[in-house]
Amino acid sequence: MTTTDSIKKQIVLRATPARVWRALSNAREFGTWFGVDLRDDFVPGAAIQGKVVYQGKDVAFTFHIERMEPERLLAFRWHPFAVDPEIDYAREPTTLVELALAPAPEGTLLTVTESGFDQLPLARRAKAFEMNDGGWAAQMENIERHVRT
Amino acid sequence: MSARSLAAATRAGAPIFAALGDETRLRIVARLSDTGPLSIARLTEGEAMTRQAITKHLAVLAEAGLVRDMRSGRERLWALEPSPLDTARRYLDLVSQRWDGALARLAALVEVDDD
């Protein structure tokens, strides 16, 4: 695995693994913090349909749930930054996102690993910078509004 | 370098070598390097080929991550891409930032209420 293939993030959350698991496994709660609008419940093996709002338009996308181990692991595949309606992402490789939970003295240690970026077309990765400017910033504002109200 | 990482590096580099293995495409890269971003009309000037043919060459270069298109007002310009490794790293920074934002929102969500 190269240094450009994956990222890893860790955060200690001041909440029980049970509470964190609910935020990961409940589609509605997941959508709130992840920044997507999800329609279906998470079930291992399921293709979950969702949408993001990009430049005022709804863009559909799919999560493929790979594994669910309560209070331990949620793993899914998706197409990151798949917000250009002119592109058919379905034929492109996906990245694998693993959200692992472990009890910690202060609450719960969450480790996020997203891998498989080297398989994505480089041109698509370059394009993401353009997408990032308006799209994800706007998406963040959507979420902030959602959380405040 | 292990056999596996060498294979990965070769795979990553192959589209770049293929894209540059053509005189017209090499010339396009050299011109963009000299002048900065250019429109297709400007790139077609001085070439014994149609706009469509140049567009195809640009698409091959773009797929290899060597050039990219950008908008400047109503014009579409083509520019040299920073090195593919640079692009790959910057992309990862972007993904990383996105996760930072998401995890901050997750913390806000789970830390406010008692379970």
pLDDT digits (tens, 9 = 90+) for A29-66: 999 898 888 878 899 999 998 887 766 777 788 889 99
Q: Which residue has the tokens 């908008």?
A: B71
Q: Does B52 reach chain A within 8 Å, measured CB to CB?
A: no
* Confidence category of residue A140, pLDDT binned at 50, 70, 90: very low
DSSP conformational letter for A62? E
Report yes or no: A33 and B106 within 8 Å, Cβ to Cβ. yes
pLDDT at A139: 45
Report yes or no: A75 and A112 within 8 Å, Cβ to Cβ. no
* Confidence category of residue A143, pLDDT binned at 50, 70, 90: very low
Contacts of A52 in chain B (CB under 8 A): none
Residue A136 has pLDDT above 50, yes or no: no
Contacts of B89 in chain A (CB under 8 A): 3-4
Paired strand residues for A107: A104
The interface predicted TM-score of the complex, written ipTM, equals 0.81
Nearest Cβ partner for A7 among B68, B95, B101: B95
Cβ contact B102–A34 (<8 Å): yes
Residue A94 has pLDDT above 60, yes or no: yes
Cβ contact B62–A123 (<8 Å): yes
Give CA–CA dist B77/B86, Å, rounded. 21
Cβ contact A15–B111 (<8 Å): yes
Terminal-to-terminal C-alpha distance of chain A: 42
Give CA–CA dist A89/A142, Å, rounded. 24
CATH of A6-148, one of 3.90.700.10, 3.40.50.2000, 3.40.50.720, 3.30.530.20: 3.30.530.20
Give CA–CA dist B102/B97, Å, rounded. 9
Task: Tell whether the torsion through CA atoms of A122, A125, A131 and A132 is positive or negative.
Answer: negative
Nearest Cβ partner for B91 among A34, A112, A117: A117
Element (H, E) at A73: strand A73-78
Q: What's the pTM value of the predicted model, to 2 decimals?
A: 0.66
pLDDT at B3: 54
Give CA–CA dist A97/B31, Å, rounded. 41
**Low-confidence residues of chain B: pLDDT under 50:** 1, 115
> Which is nearest to A58 in space by CA: A140, A139, A114?
A139
